[in-house]
Amino acid sequence: MSGKRIERAERTRASLIAAGRRLFCERPVDAVAIDDIVQAADVSKGSFYNHFADRDALVREVTAEIRAEVERAVTRANDGVADPARRMARAVCTYLRYAVDEPERAGVLVRIHSGHTSTSTPLNQGLVDDVAEGLAQGRFMVATTESGVLYVLGVAQLALIRVTQEPTVTFAVSLAQQMCALLLRGLGVPGAEPEAIAAQAADEIVRRGAFRDAPVSKGAAH
């Protein structure tokens, strides 16, 4: 394939992904037809099938792209942070700040239950590692790593939904403090620590967006 054809194919794929992202944010996936997608992308229907087997394949691509983008931000936010409880709060806060900064993309995560709930899903590896480390250190007191992962994903998803409904920094900071404290208490972090950790994370990550310019150390994880 020539360089120009490769470039054209890449533009077409990018247009389809962008169109899908917009449409999946606006309405449920089942209400979005392939005809809607190609019309929004201004490409032919045949071009769609050159890149994706079906609509579900595009859904997976769009959600994976957004999740990966947020997870990179989480990595920056948690660079140099060792405590699993602090890492957990900062990760959730990163998602909520993302909803303020990128409401369209966050809206896709809200509308599409992407199925990324398994502990074997690569996008969840950082979360799995943090829950497992918290259990190993005695910081968390849940029955299993999987139950902890599902609990965190559930709390984070509900908080994300609420922030997309009111995407302001002020509201997101307040909700982040409450939900992260609730999250940490549910994981078994004792005493006044949950509130203190949540307040610090909400201020640094949601209010100030500290993760944006943070350097990432070699080998940094979730």
Same domain, 109 and 147: yes
- Rounded distance between C-alpha atoms, residue 84 and residue 134, angstroms: 5
Same domain, 36 and 89: no
| Residue tagged 């942070």 (tokens) | 81
- Decide if 69 is inside a domain: yes
pLDDT category of residue 76 using cuts at 50, 70 and 90: very high
Q: Which of 3-12, 30-39, 156-165, 166-175 has the lowest mean pLDDT?
A: 3-12
Same domain, 153 and 95: yes
Question: Residue 160 belongs to a domain with what CATH number?
Answer: 1.10.357.10
What is the reported pLDDT for 111? 80
- pLDDT 10s digits, 157-174: 999 999 999 999 999 999
Same domain, 27 and 134: no
Question: Residue 22 belongs to a domain with what CATH number?
Answer: 1.10.10.60
Q: Specify whether the backbone of 221 is left (phi greater than 0), alpha (psi in -120 to 50) or beta.
A: beta
- Decide if 222 is inside a domain: no
- Decide if 221 is inside a domain: no
What is the reported pLDDT for 216? 40
Same domain, 7 and 93: no
What is the reported pLDDT for 221? 42
182-210 CB burial, b ≥16 within 10 A, e <16: ebbebbbbeeebbbebbbbbbebbbbebb
Same domain, 39 and 70: no
Residue 186 has pLDDT above 70, yes or no: yes
Domain range holding 199?
65-207
Same domain, 46 and 127: no
What does pTM read for this prediction? 0.85
DSSP letter for each residue of the chain:
--HHHHHHHHHHHHHHHHHHHHHHHHS-GGG--HHHHHHHHT--HHHHHHH-SSHHHHHHHHHHHHHHHHHHHHHHHTTT---HHHHHHHHHHHHHHHHHH-HHHHHHHHH----TT-TTSGGGHHHHHHHHHHHHHTS---S-HHHHHHHHHHHHHHHHHHHHHS--HHHHHHHHHHHHHHHHHHHT--TTHHHHHHHHHIIIIIIT-TTTT----TT---
Reference 205, options 159, 148, 137, 139; nearest CA is: 159
- Decide if 9 is inside a domain: yes
Report how many domains make up the chain.
Answer: 2
What is the reported pLDDT for 43? 94
- Decide if 139 is inside a domain: yes
Mean pLDDT is highest, among 40-44, 119-123, 209-213, for 40-44
- Rounded distance between C-alpha atoms, residue 94 and residue 73, angstroms: 7
Same domain, 74 and 22: no
Answer for the pair 36, 23: CB distance below 8 angstroms, yes or no.
Answer: yes
Same domain, 118 and 13: no
pLDDT category of residue 26 using cuts at 50, 70 and 90: confident
- Mean pLDDT for the chain? 90
The more confidently predicted of residues 118 and 103 is 103
Answer for the pair 173, 203: CB distance below 8 angstroms, yes or no.
Answer: yes
- pLDDT 10s digits, 172-181: 999 999 999 9
- Decide if 219 is inside a domain: no
Residue 218 has pLDDT above 50, yes or no: no
- Decide if 216 is inside a domain: no
Same domain, 180 and 74: yes
Same domain, 26 and 103: no
- Decide if 166 is inside a domain: yes
What is the reported pLDDT for 64? 87
Same domain, 16 and 109: no
